[in-house]
Amino acid sequence: MRVAFVVQRYGNEVNGGAELECRSIAEHVNRHVPVDVLTTCAIDYYKWTNEYAPGISDLNGVRVHRFPVDQLRDFSKFQAITQRVLSGPTDLITQLEWMRAQGPISSGLLRAIAQARDTYDAFVFFTYLYAPTYYGIQLVPDKALLAPMAHDEPFIYLDIFRAVFHLPRYIVFNTEVEQQMTHRIFDNAYIPSSAVGVGVDMPPDVDADRFRAKYNLSGDFMIYIGRVDQGKNVHELFDYFLAFRAKHDRDLKLVIMGNGALPIPDHPDVVPLGFITGQDKFDGLAAATALVLPSKYESLSIAVLEAWLVNTPVLVNGECEVLKEQCRLSKGGLWYQSREEFVVALSELLDRPDLRRRLAEAGREFAATKYAWERIERCYMDILKRFDSNSIDMLPRRSLSHS
């Protein structure tokens, strides 16, 4: 069989958890069946600027088809229409206008999906929120597998998304919490689905001391990995952390791995490293006292799994039901729901090495068992068998236009 993954951005330079999950799963499924990725030329999700060259390329053995974005996003206009759709009931025309502003709109990508419906047995659409999934899933609903990466955020309640969650033949979730929430919102439990998640690829020679030496870090530090923007609630993390530092005479830093539009405080204890992947990321996680994740909206955090696999506990925002449930099930982390709870939890992590060790060991066992790649690959292949066509391998592979 042949499988196409559809996602708004794809590449080593792309800074996004959903996109990283898509890439990881595509590469692992590609070990079993041929996988192509249909995506745009964008790296930055603010303007959707065409930075990659259009056409076909190879990334880690996966064939990638890139198509230009039709026009840049005016982020200020997008924010204005977002306020409109979230401030009260809106008609479908306004919501569709929001989706076009959300983007990325690539007519070439949508044409390719329509033209290639007979080339692929299944189209795996990653993330419900963006235009390639919204419009693409309507072109091939009978061959659509949706990985929605859904969380309880205001956008998921927009009427336009009812089609996205009722059209696919199968839905694959990251967690049972995401699955139950989606069934509650859309009343779509009749569609076959399962909670699968994602594995983690970790380098074999993780070295905490190497990271500390490279970035001149000593003592305790918390680490944040992800986009530095308001949508990830990073502004609240800065506020809570600096309030803690102002009241507690502790040698503690906050290391930031990621880029974004949110200004990073100019403070000696806030250390911005920019977007970092690979060895440095894992070395940093291993060196950290804990990973902190302030986001209220996650379907699953790869960074949390990565932290657990290098024996680092986590501190997460308890307003995110998925993250709180993962910490509760694994016993691998603490959570907070206010500034006061953040201070108490952080103090516990700093003062009690026995607690850190116990959390880290439990988290590692949970991640290594529930999110082992062997299990993830087997789940995806079992799901994809539902889409297999005995005659599809006899068909010639079409050439896609990337204009």
Share of the chain above pLDDT 70, in %: 96
Boundaries of CATH 3.40.50.2000 in the chain?
Answer: 3-199+373-394, 208-370
Per-residue model confidence (pLDDT) at position 63: 98
User: Are 248 and 258 contacting, i.e. CB atoms less than 8 angstroms apart?
Assistant: no
Q: Is the pLDDT of residue 124 over 60?
A: yes
pLDDT band, residue 17 (cuts 50/70/90): confident
Residue 391 pLDDT > 50: no
pLDDT tens-digit profile of 209-244?
999 999 999 999 999 999 898 889 999 999 999 999
Please check the confidence at residue 291 and state whether its pLDDT lies above 60: yes
Question: Is 403's pLDDT higher than 70?
Answer: no
| pLDDT at 174 > cutoff 90 | yes
pLDDT (tens digit, 9 = 90+) per residue, 20-38?
899 999 999 999 999 999 9
pLDDT tier at 402, thresholds 50, 70, 90: low
Extract the tokens encoding 75.
């982020």
Q: For residue 31, give the H/E element and its range.
A: none
Average pLDDT over residues 260-286: 92
The per-residue pLDDT of the chain, averaged, comes to 92
Helix extents (H) in 107-175: 107-115, 131-139, 161-166
pLDDT of residue 277: 74
pLDDT confidence of residue 142? 95
Question: What is the rounded CA–CA span in Å between residue 178 and residue 387?
Answer: 23
Both structure tokens of 240: 């809570």
d(CA 362, CA 331): 6
DSSP letter at 331 equals T
- Which class is 3-199+373-394 in CATH? alpha beta
Tell me the β-bridge partners of 40. 67
Q: Are 252 and 222 in contact (CB under 8 A)?
A: yes
Per-residue pLDDT reduced to its tens digit, 313-335: 999 999 999 899 999 999 999 99
Residue 202, pLDDT score: 76
Fold assignment, 208-370: Rossmann fold (3.40.50)
